[in-house]
Structure 1
Amino acid sequence: MKKALLLSVVASTMIMAGGDIAPVEPVVEAPVEVSGWDFTGQAVLYYQTRDVWGNGSLFEQANLADGGNRVGNSIANAGIQLGAVNKDLFYGIGAGVELSGLGTLGLEEEIVNGTPQSAGDKNDAEITQVYLTYGIGNTSLKVGRQLLPKSLSPFAFSEGWNVFKNTFEAALLVNTDISDTTLVYAFVKRANSVFNLSNWSEINDDGVHMGTIQNKSIENLTLTGTWYYAPDMLVTEDVNVLWADAKYGFGSEYGLVLGLQGGVVMGPDDLGIAGVNDTTAFGAKIGGNFGMFDASLAYSSVDDGAVPIHNLGTGVKTPLYTQMIFNQNSIKLDSDTIVARAGMKALGGKFGIAYGYSDIGAGAYMPAVTGNVAGEGEYSELDLTYKTKVFNDSTTLFAGYVYQDDDRMDDTQNMLRFWARYNF
């Protein structure tokens, strides 16, 4: 019987820093002899519209009229993704490949102004995954273009909010020889953009090394520590990221779980450059399930360091417990944030509501995009969502509404997002 432990099985059972605090027990299935290729695929329709902080209206096609100001922002995509995996090509070596195609179906000419994601041109495709795997004993290796989950790599992960997930060019090594302990090493070199899957760039010229250790020796307690090392990332100086996560399940009838997270992005202390200083962050979350309802409360605090607490591969989302649909730019630097969430199972799906409030300092993150302003302020966001599965669970439907209020802006912003995802 083959003794290879596939990387995909190990990664899916791990709970690492920055992930959901709900406890998930690892399940390692006995290796099974597999021959031939397994094929998978998904087709997606995706639509989003917002009123751009009062500079337009929902469902209006954006353009550069009205004196050069945008008067709306409606975007849409159609996508198809095909994948194939062979877990044993020969001598325990496996392989996987994935092709992602994105198009507009002509919608940008009549209904919307642009697309949320592309693969180069408006109608194009990109090889988003191609990798080799090998396992021996309790050690597995995966090398090539691949997905990296946030639970495994909290500062370089594949984001799932757009049409398709972005990927990384990396080598990933996992070992479970030590009882109740998982050891992970990764070398990450390049990542593609979550907005343009064909736009590949180096995270760091000399790559980024990641080491993670997780231990579950104590009942109901999961301890995880992660270290990133990026040599010469600041021209001639190294960058180190230390991130820790602890989750404790109280074992009550409501499944209450407490999560704590925190860490530091350490830049050079001897450069003497203004603004080049460490960034520290802390977060806490408690939540549980109450029959058909669930609820949680989360808090995060990030100081005014030089590097934001976010995904190094995309520069968009964060590993913080307080991450909502649209609030990332208000929480990742010089900000204190609190988020309350609740969910209810009804009408064949799940309704969700989340409210977040951020007290933003003068050193907050300021990306160079429309609608961002400098200075201190207060930010709040309301998310309303509904998600369900239909057609024998082969198709997932999502609808979301976001309301944003930033007192540094002249107006509020409303956003609607809809998508349908069919798996085959």
Structure 2
Amino acid sequence: MKTKLSMVVLAAIGMVSLGNAVELKTTGEAVLYYQTVDTGANSDLFQKADSAANIGLRVNVAGDLGNDFGVGLEGVALGTLGLEKNLVSATMQTAGNSGNLNDTAISQAYITKKIDNTTLKLGRQVLPASVSPLAFSEDWNVFANTYDAAVAINSDLPDTTLVGAWVSGNGDKARSNLVGGAVQGGAYMVTAVNKSVKELPITASYYALKDINGADSGDAIWASTKVDAGLPVSLALQGGQISPSNNLKDTNAFGAEIGAKVDMFDLGLAYSSVNNGALGVVNTGGVKTPLFTQMVANEGAIANDADTVVLKASTAVGAGTLSAGYGMTSAGTTSATVNDSQELDLVYSFKALGTDMLLAYVNASSDVSGAEDDNIVRFVSRYNF
């Protein structure tokens, strides 16, 4: 059914383009993604059984259809180029539910319509965390997950942008899987971004959640701001609450982050605190959190019943930027980990051979007696066109 629908959309775009001389813009990227993990015991870095890889191609076609209508279509192809025969045993992402390592999927297919100061966007699309902090597209994997959504953006009010949406299925690890996170039935969302005070822009979101794990429904609020007063030190704040039905305990979260530039270094200190509510503070359509303390792999430790501090630093090195982060999480007795944990991230982002490359090393440890550290090495190369 998905293939048939995709062919119909492609044919429709082609006919509109030919019949009305519509100019369509094509963009995309080619990606090589490799990750290996050492979790101790019989695990080891660069061992086939502990490594995963993908070769991916993403092509996006978008254009103006006239009369304030627009259209967009994006397809992805994900495969391994046979790497599973010698170097890896798994993939980071799959395209579809066929079980094949090499497959394709339609990751975006939407129509837009502008009416005065309101823009409507209907279909499968990317949702940015800046306006949808609890249901957003995550870009850490080969390709970002997308959502079936109906979105309305209005700018009638002075210095204010209003966003209303119905958010439904998403695709993450398996791109055609239309459920994810803790919410199975979708969500209504309203977000307001106000910049009346230039130095103190505020973003606030409300979600009405359907079919939460363990509950019939629920509500969530989330707000954030970043003080931009021209001071040497920047300050950002965030906080929210997730309230499931069925008399389940509310989840409350707070976060703060300060940053400063000292000589050649950009420095940061982030803090988050989440109580032991029934649900974790996690992207309802993915795996990451919106918390300032989110690192490469610590989402399981920080999302519920945990206090976390993260130190950050970055500086230009050679053709790129070297970033380092060290996080410490103190877990409560009901947290998913039930143990204090630490994570060290070293990430080097650079340009080489006409591509954007990323090389990352992660060391994660905990205070579990006898437990060995987890080590992750990740390499990503992206060619954008």
**With structure 1 as the length reference, what TM-score do the two structures score?**
0.82
Partner of 2:384: 423
1:13-412 alignment to 2 at 5 Å? 35-62=22-49, 73-86=50-63, 88-120=64-96, 121-192=100-171, 194-201=172-179, 207-231=186-210, 233=212, 237-252=216-231, 254=232, 256-268=233-245, 271=246, 276-314=248-286, 316-365=287-336, 376-391=338-353, 394-408=354-368, 410-412=371-373
Select between 102-111 and 283-292 the one with higher mean Cα deviation: 283-292
Count matched residues. 360
> Which residue identity lines up with residue 251 of structure 1 in the other structure?
G
Offset at residue 173 of structure 1 (A)? 0.7
Closer, same or farther in 2 for the Cα pair 1:206/1:338, shift >3 Å?
closer
* SS of match in other structure, 2:129: coil
* SS of match in other structure, 1:200: coil
C-alpha root-mean-square deviation of aligned residues, in Å? 1.8
Offset at residue 209 of structure 1 (A)? 0.4
Closer, same or farther in 2 for the Cα pair 1:233/1:75, shift >3 Å?
closer
Question: How many Å separate the matches in 1 of 2:68 and 2:196?
Answer: 31
> Which residue identity lines up with residue 24 of structure 2 in the other structure?
W
* SS of match in other structure, 1:311: coil
* Structure 1, unaligned runs of 5 or more: 1-33, 63-72, 366-373
Choose between structure 1 and 2 for higher RCO, CA contacts under 8 A separated by at least 6 residues. Answer: 1
* SS of match in other structure, 1:362: coil
Is the contact between residue 94 and residue 134 of structure 1 (CA under 8 Å) also seen in structure 2? yes
**With structure 2 as the length reference, what TM-score do the two structures score?**
0.90
Closer, same or farther in 2 for the Cα pair 1:234/1:294, shift >3 Å?
closer
Offset at residue 292 of structure 1 (A)? 3.0
Is the contact between residue 99 and residue 128 of structure 1 (CA under 8 Å) also seen in structure 2? yes
Is the contact between residue 385 and residue 398 of structure 1 (CA under 8 Å) also seen in structure 2? yes
* SS of match in other structure, 2:340: strand
Residues 294-316 of structure 1 show CA distances to partners (whole Å, capped at 9, x for unaligned) of 011000000111011001012x1
> Which residue identity lines up with residue 359 of structure 2 in the other structure?
A
Question: How many Å separate the matches in 2 of 1:207 and 1:279?
Answer: 19
Residues 221-247 of structure 1 show CA distances to partners (whole Å, capped at 9, x for unaligned) of 111110000245467743000111121
Closer, same or farther in 2 for the Cα pair 1:261/1:166, shift >3 Å?
same
Question: How many Å separate the matches in 2 of 1:379 and 1:143?
Answer: 42
Residues 22-71 of structure 1 show CA distances to partners (whole Å, capped at 9, x for unaligned) of xxxxxxxxxxxx94100012100010001123431111111xxxxxxxxx
Offset at residue 172 of structure 1 (A)? 0.8
* SS of match in other structure, 2:48: coil
* SS of match in other structure, 2:230: coil
Question: How many Å separate the matches in 2 of 1:417 and 1:202?
Answer: 24
Is the contact between residue 54 and residue 413 of structure 1 (CA under 8 Å) also seen in structure 2? no
